[in-house]
Amino acid sequence: MTPWTDVAAEADLFEGAGIAVTPEGQDIALFKLENGSVYAINNLCTHGNAKLCDGFVEGHHVECPFHQALFDLRDGSVGCGPATEPAKSWPVKIEGGRVYLDLNL
């Protein structure tokens, strides 16, 4: 059985912005960078009740809309506080115009 779950159309993504998807009850934010790369990290900020899909994307970071913590979209690591815990990152695959996540990791 394939581990990949279809979560969105690639056309739903816009460069430099995030969208929320909720496959299998998970709350995940998808981001497309200006270079076209697509990444997925948990949507909930690890510092508080903020949605990272609403954050400002700069380079390969997203800035939390509440207290401006920076998360690296490539692996969920914290680039700048006040958050200290990384956001879980999810493997992404683009195929046939669809965005797939591996939710088993």
Among the listed ranges 24-32, 61-69, 72-80, 93-101, the one in contact with ligand FES (CB under 6 A) is 61-69
Q: Total residues at the site for ligand FES (CB under 6 A)?
A: 10
Return all residues near 70 (Cβ < 8 A) that are at least 6 apart: 61, 62, 63, 64, 78, 79, 80
Sketch the per residue contact string, 70 through 89, with ligand FES: x for CB under 6 A, - otherwise.
------------xx------
| d(C-alpha 29, C-alpha 53), whole Å | 5
Separation CA 53–CA 44 (nearest Å): 9
- Using alpha carbons, select from 55, 62, 104 the residue that is nearest to residue 86: 62
Residue from 13, 30, 64, 78 in contact with ligand FES (CB under 6 A): 64
Position closest to ligand FES via CB: 48
Least CB distance from residue 80 to ligand FES, whole Å?
Answer: 9
Does 66 bind ligand FES (CB under 6 A)? Our answer is: yes
Site for ligand FES in 17-46 (CB under 6 A): 45
Measured CA to CA in angstroms, residue 91 lies from 5, 48, 67 at distances of 11, 24, 27
Pairing of strands 38-42, 28-32: antiparallel
Residue numbers of the site for ligand FES (CB under 6 A)?
Answer: 45, 47-48, 50, 64, 66-67, 69, 82-83
